[in-house]
């Protein structure tokens, strides 16, 4: 089925439906962009934004645009960037909050993982025999209620289609499909649905599957009695087409979340609220991998540092004691000629109570050791190595060792595993289950190989044989 790239037709404001303006909504650019042949309102002062615009495309299809922001207002045309478009109905200004949302994403069926398709028979037999039988058993959804009362359901289904290159009915394909559905006790705006539920869930699925996850279809409903309306917006996508990942690199599955799917999802939301900087950095590597491996390594090191800062309550000095002692020291510089020295010392001491990067990495080493102790034993000095690599490429212009791209790539992979295990433990996965999932990852196999090779290279000659 072809995808619409624009909706051309008539557009108007709900407050003045008699004044229709020709124009079109472009869906193919970097933004949803509405171009009108003339203003919706008489020109009075600066350009205007509109909360709601109604439209009717060719063929009578009804559209509602939510959040139209004026970007150019010229005599020949008016241009607006649009936050969200709802296809299939006209919503009033009072109806821009929604009771339900359903979203389909890439790789969602892989993450559940979806099951239920059974194939029985050999395909061979006598005329009239049932030689091959394909069936699908409907699976129970993963569902529950979040702390704010939102009901969430992750369901799977089966999808059929015509086999490529075959005549209709002569060949079929059978595949799994999945969607996630939210139902709100108190309706909320489309923007709130994205910020509070869709974007965090997108990050979760992307991080768990180690793939850039894009929303492929979305629907909204104002109330339970209404039909689902198609929801269009510019969802987050990879900056370039990504290569297919190695098989077996999924961190964990939706069915691993305990004691229920909703409980695990709520813990993810809590983790994300506390560690948004570090998680965003790691997920960004899936959507847009840096061109240079030293940049990738620096981002991973920053993620670990940010994660520790927001998660582990540990300072080299208690902050209040440090503040009091720093103040006492600085008060000794009372002479005017000491002013410059006092200002310098205040800058040097501003964050001196924080742990060093090495201390932070050692804390994380201790946290993940019950899960990946075998890997850490092969590379016990990884924290010192990462610290040196990070310092080398953070403080450019100073003499220092130049690392090979392969060394940086291997350390970045190693450090990503440290981060992933930390977060898997934070969202409640038992250590034994984490160990099983991590040991099945393709990245872990490569990290073990790298660590063994590194250990042999650094060992004395008589020990490396």
Residues 6+ apart with CB under 8 A from 117: 134, 135, 136, 158, 174, 176
**Of 88, 363, 101, nearest in space to 230 by CA:** 88
The per-residue pLDDT for range 349-365, each reduced to its tens digit, is 666 657 888 999 999 99
Sign of CA dihedral 361, 419, 191, 256: negative
For residue 2, pLDDT over 50 is answered with no
Calpha distance 257→302 (Å, rounded): 27
Mean pLDDT of 7-20: 94
Residues 6+ apart with CB under 8 A from 459: none
- pLDDT of 373 reads 96
For residue 376, the tally of other CB atoms under 10 A from its CB is 18
Element (DSSP H or E) covering residue 70 = strand 62-74
Element (DSSP H or E) covering residue 266 = helix 261-274
Candidate ranges 42-46, 292-296, 373-377, 400-404; pick with highest mean pLDDT? 373-377
CA 210 to chain centre: 10
Rg (CA), the chain: 28
DSSP 373-401: HHHHHH-TTHHHHHHHHHHHHHSTTS--P
- pLDDT of 165 reads 65
Residue 367: both structure tokens together: 């946290």
The per-residue pLDDT for range 68-111, each reduced to its tens digit, is 999 875 655 689 999 999 999 999 998 999 999 999 999 999 99
pLDDT above 70 as % of the chain: 86
For residue 455, pLDDT over 90 is answered with no
Residue 339's pLDDT band (boundaries 50, 70, 90)? confident
Q: Residue 360, SS3? A: helix
The per-residue pLDDT for range 299-333, each reduced to its tens digit, is 999 999 999 989 986 655 566 666 766 667 767 77
pLDDT above 90 as % of the chain: 61
Q: Which residue has the higher pLDDT, 29 or 264?
A: 264
Residue 134's pLDDT band (boundaries 50, 70, 90)? confident
Instruction: Output the CA torsion 450→384→355→251 (10° steps).
Output: 0
The per-residue pLDDT for range 242-297, each reduced to its tens digit, is 554 444 689 999 999 989 999 999 999 999 999 999 999 999 888 888 888 899 99
For residue 170, pLDDT over 70 is answered with no
- pLDDT of 83 reads 97
Calpha distance 177→116 (Å, rounded): 11
- pLDDT of 322 reads 61
pTM assigned to the model: 0.85
Residues 6+ apart with CB under 8 A from 170: 163
Q: Which residue has the higher pLDDT, 117 or 202?
A: 202
């Amino acid at each position: 089925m072809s995808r619409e790239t624009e909706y051309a037709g008539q557009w108007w404001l709900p407050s003045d439906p008699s004044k229709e303006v020709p124009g079109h909504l472009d869906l193919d650019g970097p933004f949803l962009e509405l171009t009108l042949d003339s203003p919706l309102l008489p020109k009075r002062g600066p350009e205007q934004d509109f909360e709601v615009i109604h439209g009717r495309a060719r063929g009578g299809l009804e559209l509602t645009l939510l959040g139209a922001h004026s970007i150019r207002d010229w005599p020949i045309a008016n241009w607006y960037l649009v936050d969200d478009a709802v296809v299939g109905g006209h919503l009033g200004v009072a109806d821009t909050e929604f009771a339900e949302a359903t979203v389909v994403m890439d790789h969602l069926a892989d993450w559940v993982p979806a099951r239920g398709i059974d194939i029985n028979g050999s395909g061979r037999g006598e005329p009239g025999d049932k030689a091959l039988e394909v069936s699908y058993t409907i699976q129970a959804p993963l569902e529950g209620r979040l702390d704010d009362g939102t009901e969430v359901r992750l369901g799977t289904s089966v999808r059929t289609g015509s086999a490529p290159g075959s005549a209709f009915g002569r060949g079929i394909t059978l595949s799994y499909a999945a969607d996630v559905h939210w139902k709100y006790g108190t309706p909320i705006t489309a923007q709130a649905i994205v910020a509070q539920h869709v974007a965090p869930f997108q990050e979760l699925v992307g991080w768990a599957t180690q793939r850039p996850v894009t929303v492929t279809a979305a629907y909204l409903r104002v109330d339970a009695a209404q039909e689902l309306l198609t929801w269009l917006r510019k969802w987050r996508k990879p900056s370039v087409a990504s290569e297919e990942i190695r098989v077996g690199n999924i961190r964990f599955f939706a069915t691993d979340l305990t004691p229920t799917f909703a409980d695990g999802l709520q813990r993810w939301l809590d983790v994300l609220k506390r560690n948004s900087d570090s998680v965003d950095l790691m997920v960004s590597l899936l959507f847009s991998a840096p061109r240079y491996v030293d940049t990738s390594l620096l981002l991973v090191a920053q993620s670990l540092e940010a994660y520790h800062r927001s998660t582990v309550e540990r300072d080299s000095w208690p902050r209040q004691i440090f503040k009091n002692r720093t103040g006492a020291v600085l008060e000794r510089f009372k002479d005017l000629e000491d002013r410059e020295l006092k200002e310098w010392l205040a800058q040097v001491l501003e964050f001196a109570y924080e742990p060093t990067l090495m201390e932070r990495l050692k804390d994380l080493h201790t946290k993940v050791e019950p899960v990946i102790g075998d890997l850490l034993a092969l590379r016990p000095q990884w924290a010192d190595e990462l610290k040196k690599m990070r310092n080398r490429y953070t403080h450019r212009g100073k003499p220092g060792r130049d690392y090979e791209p392969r060394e940086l790539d291997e350390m970045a992979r190693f450090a990503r595993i440290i981060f992933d295990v930390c977060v898997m433990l934070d969202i409640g996965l038992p250590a034994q289950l984490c160990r099983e999932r991590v040991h099945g990852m393709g990245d872990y196999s490569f990290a073990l190989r790298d660590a063994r090779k590194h250990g042999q290279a650094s060992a004395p000659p008589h020990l490396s044989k």
